[in-house]
Structure formats: C-alpha cells, structure tokens
Amino acid sequence: MSSPVNIRKAIRSFKYAGMGIYSLFRYENNARIHLIACIVVIIAGVVLHISAVEWCIIVILIGLVWSAEAMNTAIEKLADVVSPQYNPGIKDVKDLAAAGVLILAISAVVAGSIIFIPKFAALCGLAF
C-alpha cells in the first residue's frame, strides 16, 4: 500500500524549486538573456496573433531552453564544487553542458523563425 501524499513535503519541494528559479534569473546572465528573448517572443506572438498550436510550440521551447539553462547552471556549480581548480575534464563537462543549451536555443530560434517570419512578412505586405 502506498503512503499518503505529504502536502507539507510537496509544498517545501515547490518552495525549493521556486528558490532555484529565482536564483537562475537573479544570478545567471544567460538565463536573463533567455528571459528577455521570451518577453520579446510573447509580445510578438500577441501582436501577430499566432495560433494555439504555435503558442504550444513556443511555450514548450521556452520551457525547454530554461530547463536546459537550469541544468547547465547546476552542472557548472557542481563541477566548481567538485574541482575548484582548473581541470581539463571538468572543462569538457562544462563545455558539453553549455553546448546542450546552445543547440536547444538554436533550434528554438529556427522554430520561432518558421512561425514568425511569414507573419512579419505578411504584416509588411510581402508575399512569403
């Protein structure tokens, strides 16, 4: 028989996750860059009246990029604790984690371009 849900423990977990989100955007420059990009994309989506499916794609991509940035930050912080001095192996780990964020961010830009470029073109009276 499974144990009952511990509401206090669940609330505490959400609190810790919220602290992590706050820390991510407060202290990580790249996360703030992603946040600014997110705001611009949301404004563009509202102005250009993107469809529900396009909103779903945008929201998923924003969540994925932020999640990747959080994982990258966690890996970097853990690596710094494990090896405070320069270590070529740790450098490779950090570079690979950062590459994961970059690959996802590039994919998000490509998908966003597919969604937004035709809408901007139509707004400017250009056939696309």
Cα within 13 Å of Cα(15), Cβ side:
6
| pLDDT recorded at residue 38 | 96
User: Residue ranges per domain, the chain?
Assistant: 7-123
Q: Which residues, 6 or more positions from 90, have their beta carbon under 8 angstroms from its beta carbon? A: 79, 82, 83
Q: What is the pLDDT of residues 57-108, one digit of tens each?
A: 999 999 999 999 999 999 999 999 999 999 999 999 999 999 999 999 999 9
Task: Give the DSSP per-residue string, the chain.
Answer: -PPPP-HHHHHHHHHHHHHHHHHHHHH-HHHHHHHHHHHHHHHHHHHTT--HHHHHHHHHHHHHHHHHHHHHHHHHHHHHHH--S--HHHHHHHHHHHHHHHHHHHHHHHHHHHHHHHHHHHHTT---
Q: What is the pLDDT of residues 31-66, one digit of tens each?
A: 999 999 999 999 999 999 999 999 999 999 999 999
pTM for this one? 0.87
**What is the architecture, at CATH level 2, of domain 7-123?**
Orthogonal Bundle (1.10)
Report the b/e string of 11-21 with b at 16+ CB within 10 A.
Answer: eeeeeeeeeee
Q: Give the C-alpha separation, 25 to 10, whole Å.
A: 23
Q: Give the C-alpha separation, 121 to 128, whole Å.
A: 6
Q: How confident is the model at residue 128 (pLDDT cuts 50, 70, 90)?
A: low
